Amino acid sequence: MDFSVLNEALASKSFNKIADICDNLMLQVAAEGVPFRDEWPFAIHLLGHIYIDDINSARFLWKSIPPAIKESQPEVVAAWKIGQKLWTRDYAGVYEAIRGFDWTQQTQVLVAAFSELYTKRMFELLQSAYSTISIQDAAQFLGMSEEDASNCKHAHLCLCREVSYYFTIFRCIA
């Protein structure tokens, strides 16, 4: 099976294309009647959907994965654990799922990119939903310790300690 297009997307860090590439490849090999289940990169396929925030497609892909593959490939289960945490809006759990598995070299780059993107999304969520937030809540949303959250700046958003246990969220001026 030729995964060169997928490998090129991974190498060029075009992570937003991975889900579509995998979906198209899966349709292509299924139409040709080629058995593909054993060598299919299910973890990368799941992570591709997760990266573009398409949890519904990730969920349906998970349901279509044969139980034998789920049992024999723990990385697939670990990728879906991230999807489960996103599905239930367990923000801190997403970070725990990311850190809770020793990812292979091929998926590590994608997981790291997703983690960075997810942190950015959480900062944007905090900025749009809160003007003031407790250090503890900010740390939970951002998947970090309270000490790290106290010193945190990301992109153009800042957390500014206003009162001893609270932050004011504002846009930083570069």
Rounded CA gap, 109 and 98, in Å?
A: 12
Q: Tokens standing for 25?
A: 């490849």
pLDDT, tens digit (0-9, with 9 covering 90-100), for 134-146: 878 888 888 888 7
Average pLDDT over every residue of 88-111: 95
The region that residue 154 occupies, defined by phi over 0 for left and psi between -120 and 50 for alpha, beta otherwise, is beta
Q: Is pLDDT above 50 for 156? A: no
pLDDT, tens digit (0-9, with 9 covering 90-100), for 26-64: 999 889 887 777 889 999 999 999 999 999 999 999 999
Average pLDDT over every residue of 75-95: 96
Average pLDDT over every residue of 21-26: 96
Average pLDDT over every residue of 16-21: 98
CA dist 72 → 38, 66, 67 (Å) = 10, 10, 9
More confident: 133 or 55:
55
Q: Tokens standing for 9?
A: 């997307």
Q: What is the 3-state secondary structure (H, E, C) of 53-110?
A: CCHHHHHHHHHHCCHHHHHHCHHHHHHHHHHHHHHCCCHHHHHHHHHCCCCCHHHHHH
- Per-residue model confidence (pLDDT) at position 1: 78
Phi (first) and psi of residue 102, to 5 degrees: -90, 95
- Most confident of the ranges 28-42, 79-93, 126-140: 79-93
Q: Tokens standing for 65?
A: 């994965």
CB of 84 closer than 8 Å to CB of 60: no
More confident: 126 or 161:
126
% of the chain surpassing 70 pLDDT: 86
- β-pairing verdict for 157-163 and 132-134: unpaired
- Per-residue model confidence (pLDDT) at position 153: 56
- Per-residue model confidence (pLDDT) at position 125: 86
Q: Is pLDDT above 50 for 169? A: yes
